[in-house]
């Protein structure tokens, strides 16, 4: 039996750094990932694909670890970094994108993340585990944004 938790997040914010610097950081997956909390290991699978192995977390008497892989494609002209799931790697499918817009005095960032996490738990656990997992993931993404905002000189 397994529980599937779906996550859809979207954020918009502006930072003081120049768009070119922001793109350079976000399009370099290991550099960008270094700002994401609770990453145990980031494994380069080649061809723009990376496997994320998150730290194990404990919920009640259960220990869970999220592992997934995504393939990244950057387009400097469009100001985008897009990632799509690599099937067959881990227990989650994660996709998303960064849209980077140069506003001359600041850089606007739009982040979209979609995830589907499958956990080896009985179906009855979904009511408890679903909201906790969503809240934990949202907290990590918000910490990631805070870390990047600091890296880029603060919010504009």
pLDDT score recorded for residue 147: 98
**H/E segment holding residue 141:** helix 126-151
Q: What is the pLDDT of residues 99-131, one digit of tens each?
A: 999 999 999 999 999 999 998 888 787 888 888
**H/E segment holding residue 24:** helix 19-27
Confidence of residue 45 (pLDDT cuts 50, 70, 90): very high
Cα torsion at 25, 27, 30, 31 (round to 10°)? 0
Using the predicted structure, report yes or no on whether residue 52 has a pLDDT greater than 90: yes
Q: What percent of the chain has pLDDT over 70?
A: 97
Q: Please provide the average confidence, as pLDDT, over all residues in the chain.
A: 93
pLDDT score recorded for residue 155: 94
Domains of the chain: 3-151 (3.30.530.20)
Alpha-carbon gap, residue 54 to 58, rounded angstroms: 12
pLDDT score recorded for residue 61: 67
Stretch among 128-132, 141-145, 148-152 having the lowest mean pLDDT: 128-132
Mean pLDDT computed over 49-76: 88
Using the predicted structure, report yes or no on whether residue 63 has a pLDDT greater than 90: no
Mean pLDDT computed over 29-56: 97
pLDDT score recorded for residue 100: 98
Q: Are 50 and 32 in contact (CB under 8 A)?
A: no
Q: How many CA atoms lie within 13 A of 11 on its CB side?
A: 21
pLDDT score recorded for residue 122: 82
């Amino acid at each position: 039996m397994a529980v599937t938790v779906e996550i859809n997040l979207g954020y918009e914010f502006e930072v003081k750094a120049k768009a070119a610097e922001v793109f350079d950081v976000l399009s370099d997956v290991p550099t960008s990932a270094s700002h994401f909390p609770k990453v145990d290991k980031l494994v380069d699978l080649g061809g723009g694909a990376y496997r994320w192995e998150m730290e194990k977390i404990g919920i009640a008497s259960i220990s869970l670890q999220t592992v997934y892989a995504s393939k990244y494609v950057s387009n400097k002209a469009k100001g985008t970094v897009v990632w799509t799931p690599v099937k067959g790697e881990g227990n989650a499918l994660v996709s998303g994108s960064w849209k980077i817009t140069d506003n001359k005095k600041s850089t606007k960032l739009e982040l979209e993340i979609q995830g589907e996490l499958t956990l080896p738990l009985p179906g009855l656990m979904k009511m408890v585990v679903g909201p906790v997992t969503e809240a934990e993931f949202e907290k990590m993404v918000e910490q990631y944004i805070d870390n990047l905002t600091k890296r880029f000189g603060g919010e504009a």
